Structure 1
Amino acid sequence: MTIEPDFFAELERFEASLQRISEDVQQGEQESRSVGEGLTFSDYRRYAPGDDTRLIDWRVYARTEEYYVKQFEEERNLTVHVLVDTSASMDYGDGDAHKFEFGAKIGLGFAYLTAEENNDFRFSTFRNRPKRLDTGRSNRGDLLRVVDLLNETELSDKADLVSALEEYASTIHSRSLVVVVSDFLTDPDEVESAVAALEENDVILVQTLAPDELDPDVTGDTIFEDPESGDSLRSYFGGSMANKYHDRLQSHVEAISERATTHRADHILVNTGAAFFDAFADVWVE
């Protein structure tokens, strides 16, 4: 890992443009889940023509046979939880396209902008269980500490997504935004179980895949190696085999997205070969 502290200086320069992007999205028809948009229940009032029917509380209607809509107020003190996968499969990609480094920087971007908005962040890595890196101060010094620890992180073994996120969910005691960064190269059913543990919160799944994973630049007799198990397979890659690979990867990504939607989570596929701040802006305003 080679994340430099001056990364935050770059983030600072982009902060104003990111804020403009967020405001543009919020003023349009799309809904943004960026930091500072947490809502908490406030009160009921009688339904009036023009109200959003999705806000009708049908349990109240069942008791009273009258329509009431739920009112919400902005939740100012939002905690943003960032969790970054440190399994061996994240140790892939060349230079700036390295999956773990790219994903960690996305997480750091969330933590930095959260602190700038005077909200709290929590930053952890995980394999079979979460490992918290911050000290709870949610300031620049804490961010620099997190960078140092990320740079020392060893990537190995296979992630147990369900155990790690279930354990982490038990530490969240207020409605929060949870950003999970991983390549999610695991059984989609495991992803669904992991997201289900967090569904009391707003959840964003950031799936980081390297350019060579999305579109392998190989042809002919090739040796493929699983970084988590160490197993290797020699095969001819090209033609029908290449088409089958792309179809299976697309199906897998779609399955992850569908499992996320089932539990009201957002899913964003990130190509680590993209320009970092373009990719981060896409995730930030999701």
Structure 2
Amino acid sequence: MTIESPRRARWATWVAAAAIAGACAGAQAATMSGVYAAGSIRNVFRICMTCNSEFELLFADEDGGLGSTGPAIVDGYEAKGYPQGFGSVYARALVVGPTATPYLGAYAAAKPGIGPWPGYSGDGAYLFSANASARAAQHYTFLGSVAETYRMTFKLNGSAAGYSSSADIANDRLITANGGLALYDADTTDGSELPYGWLMDIEQLSFSAASASNFDDSRTVSITLEPGDSFYAVAWLGATVGVGAAGAADVSHTLSIAFTAGDVTLLQPDLQPQAQPMPEPGTATLALLGLAAMRWSRRPQRTA
């Protein structure tokens, strides 16, 4: 394949770090293909604006790794205080369909609460944060005898909103969702490339509750292959509610990918799609989704 200057070069460092983090301990594979999901819930206890804060990691989990087809699933919920504060996370990663493309989901929600802390005489605020992420790397080998150009389109659909019935920009900026897709030349292995090879094309979408409560958007990346070439398609998705914010970022049902150009019968994927039904969030997360839906229905639609 012809190597060109990577588009969106400013994302190169970020994607490299994500790739390294995704290569966690697990089954050994001939390539770096695999799916990975992670989630965490943290709490900051603060009794006054000028007082020292106490920090607590309430939940941290990860699933999947090298060679994993999925589904890699993380599902967590923690609550403290009265009125009750909580944090909730859900992440899912797998490959699906005849072309075994990545399919990712992520959900994060949080709301502050009030309660006691050992060693303090009065109640304070429990300020939660929640972060969920999913990632998948699929390796394709090109079986064609002449050059072929492939285009892959990813779609990100979901919502991000605060729980208040009125707009709160400072709060809503902390409720975010983002996802993207990068294509790498897997045949470049001289040691100077990123972990998956040379970055050939990359696109990303980012949203916050401050810009739009609901979003449905897509981006396209492309790569031209010569006979004998191979490449990685690496997708990532994240949902975050920052410390002290009240709301939810819900992309639990979609970052989906489809080939929109090129003969897919000439591609051989490393990971084969899993045949299990699509997993869904647990009971606590479903309850929070219902709460968020009721809250969001009362808010006026905002556009970017």
Q: TM-score, normalised by structure 2?
A: 0.25
Q: Which one has the bigger strand percentage? A: 2
Q: TM-score, normalised by structure 1?
A: 0.26
Larger RCO of the pair (alpha carbons < 8 Å, separation 6+): 2
